[in-house]
Amino acid sequence: MRSSSLPETGFLRLWQILGNTKTDPPTPPLLPISKSTWWVRVKSGEYPQPVKLGPRITAWRVEDIRSLIARDTQAE
């Protein structure tokens, strides 16, 4: 799933952002970073804050992830 194929609105789980090699077919990462790096950057405020959809469900708004990808692409 590339940023161009993301829905206009909705939510993404962490595995959809960072990829998952265990799914069939494997999910490619939108951002090629580790899970621990992701959480460090979320905590520092560099990355968007998650939304709790349930007691065990954490997700991020698609709009926030689109903005993050666009910002990271411009920085390169």
- Who has greater pLDDT, 72 or 53? 53
pLDDT 10s digits, 2-35? 555 788 899 999 999 999 999 999 999 999 999 9
The edge-to-edge listing of strands for the beta sheet with 57-61 is 11-12, 57-61, 51-54
Give me the DSSP letters along 63-76.
HHHHHHHHHHHHH-
pLDDT higher than threshold 80 for residue 47 = yes
pLDDT mean over 32-39: 96
Mean pLDDT for all residues in the chain: 91
Q: Which of 75, 76, 73, 65 is nearest to 1 (CA)?
A: 65
- Report the predicted TM-score, pTM, of the whole model to 2 decimal places: 0.85
